[in-house]
Amino acid sequence: MTQRDLEGKTAIVTGGGSGIGRAITVRFAAAGARVAVLDVAREAAEEVAATVRKGGHVAAAFPCDVTRQGEVIDVFRAVAQRFGNPVSVLVNSAGVAHIGTVEQTTEEDFDRLYAVNVKGVYNCLKAGVTAMKVHGHGGAILNIASVASSVGIADRFAYSMTKGAVLTMTYSIARDYVGHKIRCNSVAPARVHTPFVDGYLATSYPGREREMFEALSRTQPIGRMGTPEEIAELALFLCSDRAAFITGSNYAIDGGFVTLKM
């Protein structure tokens, strides 16, 4: 029987239309949350929300470009009005990737990564914290960081920069708002098998997709990539009252990548 850890709570999941965000949306809804699926891709968000509703749970799609602060603030208000309950759970999963050294990173690449992965998280944190403070009920915030937040990974200059910022924003929010009963944590995945991985392999290694998939899988000491559903399980725990004593923490979910890598 599924535990209803988020029964009656309103949750926002950014980037909820695909990958890790999609898995978190589905898992949170099954745990009793009313989930707002925020994604710049309208059709993807609507498809996920429809899938959740078909399963007998509650979700609604809200197209949103997290890089635009005014749009984010309006959407957060619309979510509270739609569900008749203030937002008490926020997951910042929206993000974009980039492969390249500093020399290979153009100014346009850098600005795009910063806009989504740093400014987008800031915009949602600002709106989420404000809502949680105004209503006085506190809440739980989870940011999706990365192993790249804390260790050097080849050819990930701009991506690592943004995920390092996500990690330090997590610590800052946790410290500044602990007195308001707002908890803020992050998770740091290694490679997770999402549609992005499949697209990257198809583009970069045509005809060698299986070979390169296995090579990437072996970079985790456990011998495989993670699944979005595994990330969602940890996300559920950290956003539930079972984790009420946890804030300002970053959780590796990486198959041993950071601590066991030789």
Tens-digit pLDDT profile for residues 189-240: 999 999 888 988 898 899 999 999 999 999 999 999 999 999 999 999 999 9
Domain ranges of the chain: 10-190+228-252, 192-225
Question: Is the pLDDT score of 2 beyond 60?
Answer: no
pLDDT for residue 4: 87
How far apart, in whole angstroms, are the C-alpha atoms of residue 144 and residue 163?
A: 8
Question: Is the pLDDT score of 1 beyond 50?
Answer: no
- Helix 209-217 × helix 195-204 angle, to 10°: 130
224-to-20, 83, 152 alpha-carbon distances in Å: 16, 39, 20
Question: Is the pLDDT score of 91 beyond 60?
Answer: yes
10-190+228-252 is a CATH 3.40.640.10 domain: no
How far apart, in whole angstroms, are the C-alpha atoms of residue 33 and residue 96?
A: 26
Min mean pLDDT across 19-33, 159-173, 206-220 is at 206-220
231-to-11, 55, 176 alpha-carbon distances in Å: 16, 21, 26
pLDDT for residue 258: 93
Active site residues: 159
Order of strands across the sheet with 10-14? 58-63, 34-39, 10-14, 87-92, 139-144, 182-189, 250-253
Tens-digit pLDDT profile for residues 46-83: 999 999 999 999 999 999 999 999 999 999 999 999 99
The count of C-alpha atoms lying within 13 angstroms of the C-alpha of 168, restricted to the half-sphere facing its C-beta, is: 8
Characterize 92-128 residue by residue with b for buried, 16 or more Cβ atoms within 10 angstroms of its Cβ, and e for exposed.
bbbbbbbeeeeeebeeebbeebbbbbbbbbbbbbebb
How far apart, in whole angstroms, are the C-alpha atoms of residue 108 and residue 85?
A: 39
pLDDT for residue 195: 86
Could you give phi then psi for residue 164, rounded to 5 degrees? -65, -40
Over the chain, what is the mean pLDDT?
Answer: 95
Question: Is the pLDDT score of 99 beyond 70?
Answer: yes
CB 231 within 8 A of CB 24: yes
pLDDT for residue 262: 52
Question: Is the pLDDT score of 3 beyond 80?
Answer: no
Tally Cβ neighbours within 10 Å of residue 196.
15
Region 128-152: mean pLDDT is 95
Region 126-148: mean pLDDT is 95
Q: How confident is the model at residue 112 (pLDDT cuts 50, 70, 90)?
A: very high
Residue 175, amino acid: R
Q: How confident is the model at residue 39 (pLDDT cuts 50, 70, 90)?
A: very high
